Amino acid sequence: MYTPKPNEETRVEVMQALVQAHPLATWTLFDGDDLLTHHIPFHLDVDRGPFGTLVGHVARANSVWRSRPSDVRSVVSFHGPQAYVTPSWYASKREHGKVVPTWNYAVVHARGVPTFTHDTAWLLAHVSGLTAAHEANESTPWSVSDAPSEFVERQLRAIVGVEIPIERLSGKWKTSQNRPHADKAGVVAGLGRRGDEASAELVERHTEP
């Protein structure tokens, strides 16, 4: 990932927070013949390893667990807030006009070697925990135990668990760091008017590491 120094994020806790807030990932790996890309939500277990361990599952019909060489590292990309930035928001436009559009975003890449499991107890614990985490804010949370046990057993037989101990985390926060204060204030205001509070907050709070 091309990352100019001002955009580089090295704080592990900041990168982990983005992963936890935006769990749907783009997972890319090489199967020996071609690049494979999958989109699955990962749970980040921050207590396992120096950078954490990604935990998820794929459909048993997905050939990734059969064709993946055991020594191939993969890249898991997590995307945070992103937004087009118009030069019209910059104070610099009114001063000298030497401005161009850009795109702000925050991304984290996690690298590691995946392992797969078919263990039913592991899978049940995984989907139960994943469900509980994402149902926590619902007014009437659903749990795996709400479904008939034989139905749950069939569903578990249809998936394969995956774990990726993270060997390296890299982050890129492109949040108008290269702009003067007045331009950044204009970006925050413009994003607010657009209703993109997440991108506006990213510009407001992020500072160079």
Share of the chain above pLDDT 90, in %: 77
Top pLDDT among 208 and 49 is at 49
**CA 202 – CA 170 distance, rounded (Å):** 17
Tell me the pLDDT band of 69, cut-offs 50, 70 and 90.
low
pLDDT digits (tens, 9 = 90+) for 116-128: 999 999 999 999 9
Supply the pLDDT for residue 68.
63
Q: What is the mean pLDDT of the chain?
A: 91
Strand order in the sheet with 24-30: 8-9, 168-174, 102-112, 74-85, 24-30, 35-41
Supply the pLDDT for residue 209.
42
pLDDT digits (tens, 9 = 90+) for 181-205: 999 999 999 999 999 999 999 998 8
pLDDT digits (tens, 9 = 90+) for 53-65: 999 999 999 888 8
Looking at the predicted structure, is the pLDDT value of residue 88 above 70? yes
What CATH number should be reported for the domain whose range is 5-80+100-180? 2.30.110.10
Domain layout of the chain by residue ranges: 5-80+100-180
Looking at the predicted structure, is the pLDDT value of residue 35 above 90? no
Looking at the predicted structure, is the pLDDT value of residue 208 above 60? no
Tell me the pLDDT band of 152, cut-offs 50, 70 and 90.
very high
* CA distances for 150 relative to 12, 123, 130, angstroms: 41, 15, 20
Question: Average pLDDT, stretch 142-157?
Answer: 93
* CA distances for 77 relative to 17, 33, 149, 208, angstroms: 14, 21, 34, 21
Both tokens of residue 28? 């890319």
* CA distances for 40 relative to 24, 53, 59, 62, 125, angstroms: 5, 15, 10, 12, 18
**CA 72 – CA 170 distance, rounded (Å):** 18
Supply the pLDDT for residue 99.
87
Nearby residues of 64 by Cβ (< 8 Å), 6 or more positions away: 29, 31, 36, 38, 58
